[in-house]
Amino acid sequence: AQSVTQLGSHVSVSEGALVLLRCNYSSSVPPYLFWYVQYPNQGLQLLLKYTSAATLVKGINGFEAEFKKSETSFHLTKPSAHMSDAAEYFCAVSDGSGTYKYIFGTGTRLKVLA
Amino acid sequence: DADVTQTPRNRITKTGKRIMLECSQTKGHDRMYWYRQDPGLGLRLIYYSFDVKDINKGEISDGYSVSRQAQAKFSLSLESAIPNQTALYFCATSDTGQGGDTEAFFGQGTRLTVV
C-alpha cells in the first residue's frame, strides 16, 4: 500500500529564510507525487507535481521539490520565505497502477515570523 | 464561478440526523472523490467514483454513503450523524486518461459540526 509521511506537523521560519518541508513516500510502483497548499478557509491548491519527466520540479510561488528515489523523498523547498507563505502544506501520492487514488500526508503547518 | 462547488459551506446538525453534502463540478472530469480533513490526520479518503456506475469505498467509509447522480454531481450522505463525524469535508475531481500524474482539483470544503 502506498503512503506518505510528513515530518514535522509545525514548522516556523523567519521571513527571508529557507523553507524546507519534508515528505517521504512508500510505494511499490513508480509514484506520482504532489504538493498542495491550503490557505485558511480555503480548499487545496496544487503547488507542483512529480511526473518522472525531471527529478527537480518547479512549482508556483517560488517553490520547488526534488524527487530522490534512493531516499524515497520529495521534500519541498523555497529559498526565501514570505509572510504570504504561511499555510498548511500537504504531500500526496497517486497510484499509477490504475486505482488513481490520492493518499495524503498529515500536513505541515508553516508559520513565517517577521 | 468555482470549478468544484460544494454546498453547504457550513452546517451544524444534531446527532442522529441525516445530512447530505453536495458536490458539483464544471471541469468535465470523470473521477470524483470525497475526503474528510481532521487536525493532525490530514485528508482521508471516504469514497471515490470513476464514473456514474463505478463507486468505491475509501479508507474510512463506515457511516457514510454516496450517490453519483451524474458525471458532474457526487453527493455524500451521513445517514445518522454522530459527533466524531465533525470535520471539514472536501470534494475533489480529476481527469481520466492522463495517467497517474493528473492532479486533483478541490472544492472549498464543507465544515460540518455534529452536536
- pLDDT of residue B66 exceeding 90, the answer is yes
Task: Tell me if A43 and B41 make a contact (CB, 8 A cut-off).
Answer: no
Report d(CA A104, CA A5) in Å as an integer: 9
- If you search the block for the grid coordinates 465544515, which residue do you land on? B111
Query: Looking at the complex, does the CB of residue A22 fall below 8 Å from at least one CB of chain B?
Result: no
| Average pLDDT value for residue range A88-96 | 88
With an 8 Å Cβ cutoff, are A107 and B100 in contact?
no
What pLDDT score was predicted for residue B102? 83
Contact B40 A9 (CB under 8 A): yes
- Contact, A2 vs A26, CB < 8 A? yes
CA B106/CA B32 separation, integer angstroms: 10
Q: Does the structure show a pLDDT above 70 at B95?
A: yes
Q: Does A34 reach chain B within 8 Å, measured CB to CB? A: yes
Rounded to an integer, the average pLDDT of B36-61 is 93
pLDDT of residue A38: 96
Taking an 8 Å cut-off on Cβ atoms, the answer to whether B4 and A32 are in contact is no
Average pLDDT (A9-13) is: 96
Beta-sheet pairing, A10-14 with A108-113: parallel
| DSSP assignment of A18-83 | -EEEEEEEE-SS--EEEEEEE-TTS-EEEEEEE-SS-SEEE-GGG-EEEEETTTTEEEEEESS--G
B55 interface with A at CB cutoff 8 Å: no
Taking an 8 Å cut-off on Cβ atoms, the answer to whether B99 and A46 are in contact is no
Average pLDDT over residues B29-54: 93
Q: Is B90 on the interface with A (CB under 8 A)?
A: yes
